[in-house]
Structure 1
């Protein structure tokens, strides 16, 4: 598409000054588009560190134990030493029997990547990579610059599309380029803006795609807003607290991906937060879980 845009610009734009402006702006957006796409593809998903893995002795003892209730208790005892607050739907400790580790909060096993991924959102075929804690910011930026890229092409080409219908484009090659660029840009823009809007909503609520489809379960029970810290803090959980890094594809997400601030803890420190979130959720919908609960948990298996 870059080559076609450059060719169309050279064939249809008559003013040299307009050509320069169009091409400079186009390539500036294109650089960020390709940069974020590259980062989304080649930033490896982050796995839990060694302390969440079972030791050789614990693994052997766990596998040799035939009684499920004893195995469950063994995992409970091991999890007491770890910052793990989420549970399965039945209340058991979240354990991956393929990676042999106790899953950190918001961590899930990706069947495509064949490994557990910290704060897993989904496996994306567009970038052939698992989107999680290490690259979710880059994925969002890729969507944002993709939308901007398509919008820029569509808006710059549209005036020449009007000229095409009026028969004011003399070059046959330029006609093809204008039609192709406008059609492809509009088609991708519609699909991308829907996907980007959905992920913006997820970020505003501090949810992953998996958590949006399956309510997190904490030690005190299910809580759909267990990680919701408020709009600004939710954004900072992905992009960091330094706004100068929000548009640049460099790592700025806070934390190590193994543990995350939770709403229940903030409520215990500031009771006003509980009331504020309660009012906010009542405005959105009246169906969900009681807002006064201070639960802690999550389970979704890929």
Structure 2
């Protein structure tokens, strides 16, 4: 699936959930205006924080190594003319002496990106989707169409956290309507249902769908957030675990 399509899919889901939750609270309050106001305030609070962290994750540009990690023009020419890996490593080691930090591979060779023509600092990796080296790259996330790394990892964690709270709130608040609609409104006649209850099959389907989708996303986001909290605690990344 294309990343742009995935973002559009999430935006469509957000619009659907927002409109349906608003409809449920306003139509099914059954006179409990105070309860409906509390639900709407809490819902909008979680919704705004969720959308803010989501868009910050998308639009925060991934950080790349500074220019000091790039080879000079003369060093690039010498490096490209050499066919011996040992000679190439000598050029890289000489250029890396003045750098604040650089890393070597298991074979003690200086990590160098042929595509970006720079010496990779610690935890920097080249992303083929972004076509650039990313500082402390964790992974390329198609759901945000961006690399998750040094510059936006905080927003990514906040995005997971507020997603978890958002899904939990939606699931718990919809559950009561899910039970109410499927226990009190079994008859087709509207006279047998309490006032302001949604009686048609289509409304029940939306409630059922919203409850199971929010529950499913809650479970998946919980596992993902737990995994990344474990990575943070161990000072690791998904690539470098």
TM-score bracket for the superposition, by shorter chain length:
0.7 to 0.9
- What are the superposed Cα offsets for residues 147-179 of structure 1, whole Å, 9 maximum, x if unpaired? 110000011111222212312463226433321
- What are the superposed Cα offsets for residues 76-98 of structure 1, whole Å, 9 maximum, x if unpaired? 11111112242112111110011
Between the aligned partners of 1:84 and 1:164, the Cα distance in structure 2 is: 62
Structure 2 equivalent of residue 70 of structure 1: 87
Q: What are the residue-to-residue correspondences of 1:1-302 with 2, within 5 Å?
A: 1-14=17-30, 15-168=32-185, 170-171=197-198, 172=200, 174-212=203-241
Structure 1 equivalent of residue 3 of structure 2: none
8 A Cα contact 2:182 2:204, kept in partner:
no
SS at match of 1:211: coil
Aligned length: 212
Q: Could you state the TM-score of these two structures normalised by the residue count of structure 2?
A: 0.85
- What are the superposed Cα offsets for residues 42-69 of structure 1, whole Å, 9 maximum, x if unpaired? 1011111110001111101111112211
SS at match of 2:240: helix
Superposition CA RMSD, Å: 1.3
8 A Cα contact 2:62 2:147, kept in partner:
yes
8 A Cα contact 1:86 1:93, kept in partner:
yes
Between the aligned partners of 2:83 and 2:222, the Cα distance in structure 1 is: 51
Rg: which structure is higher? 2
Structure 2 stretches lacking a partner, 5+ long: 1-16, 186-192
Between the aligned partners of 2:203 and 2:28, the Cα distance in structure 1 is: 6
| Higher mean C-alpha deviation, range 160-169 or range 65-74 | 160-169
User: Which structure has more helix as a fraction of its residues?
Assistant: 2
8 A Cα contact 1:12 1:174, kept in partner:
no
- What are the superposed Cα offsets for residues 10-67 of structure 1, whole Å, 9 maximum, x if unpaired? 1222211111000000000000000000000010111111100011111011111122
Between the aligned partners of 2:208 and 2:37, the Cα distance in structure 1 is: 22
Between the aligned partners of 1:17 and 1:93, the Cα distance in structure 2 is: 64
Q: Could you state the TM-score of these two structures normalised by the residue count of structure 1?
A: 0.68
Structure 1 stretches lacking a partner, 5+ long: 213-302
